[in-house]
Amino acid sequence: KENINPKAKFYKIDIQSPKISQIFKTEKPEIVFHIAAQINVRESVKNPIEDAKINILGSLNIIQSFYQNLSSNNKKSKIIFTSTGGAIYGDAKIIPTPETYLEFPLSPYGIAKLSVEKYLNYYLNIFKLPYIALRLGNVYGPKQNSKGEAGVIAIFCDKMISGKQPFINGSGRQTRDFVFVKDVVDAAVLAMKNKKSGVFNIGTGKETDINTIFRKLKKLIGANCKEIHNPRKQGEQKRSCLDYKKAKKELKWIPKYDLDKGLKETVEWFKNRN
């Protein structure tokens, strides 16, 4: 809560709640940034029904409430949806992976995000409600929650700084496209201002394995921990890396943070917090 802008009106409510519609009726927003979700891929594998309730039905509740309460003369209305680039393509044979690649998610989380994209496309074509789905890489940076199972950089930072032993799942050779949170915010703002609709990859076009992340963070923090590997987690992809040429061309977006710069800023925040 302390991160919420004091100028913002805050409603603490589940996106599945039937009361959501009343909020839209009262506030009549022009733009919706739909960022709420069950965020853990592994949790979706353990409990796909709960994941679908939140990430599909909850999202549909937001979209439908937005559409039903739009004023007829609103020309700026749009939904910006935070989808996933990391989980939507599966283990792609083209790296970096473009938006034209056939989606083949290997987790209920990825399936749910793709489902919402299809619903958004339905609302665009049938009801003329514009949207942009940002297929994000692995987002990291200051303020990320380190207490769950998602967000490997936040988890490693927290454990290394507090002198605890972090663990790497599997071989650690699985790769991800790590994109800094400030770059993601820039992409969302550009998506709001752009008149286009559709899906856009938001990543760096560079894949980094988990072992490299571990070693970079250990060096930055000066941590005294060993590189210990746990068994591989079920449903985890081997490789993920996004081609962002479309976002560069149509949204005029490029990532400003390379991995070293982003990790340094992230580590500084975690150190100051502890």
Alpha-carbon span 148 to 151, nearest angstrom = 8
| ω into 96 cis (within 30 of 0) | yes
Beta bridge partners of 135: 83, 201
Tell me, yes or no, if 89 is annotated catalytic: no
Longest Cα–Cα distance of the chain, Å, equals 61
89, 101, 109, 140: which is the annotated catalytic residue? 109
Quick one: residue 62, left, alpha or beta (phi over 0 = left, psi -120 to 50 = alpha)?
alpha
With H, G, I as helix, E, B as strand and everything else as coil, classify residue 182. Answer: helix
Contact status, residue 18 vs residue 60, Cβ threshold 8 Å? no
Q: How many CB atoms lie within 10 A of CB 95?
A: 17
Contact status, residue 238 vs residue 169, Cβ threshold 8 Å? no
Question: CA torsion sign, 116 to 118 to 120 to 122?
Answer: negative
List, in order, residues 6 or more apart from 200 with CB less than 8 Å away.
Answer: 99, 132, 133, 134, 135, 187, 191, 244, 246, 247, 250, 251, 253
Q: How many CB atoms lie within 10 A of CB 86?
A: 26
Residues forming the active site: 109
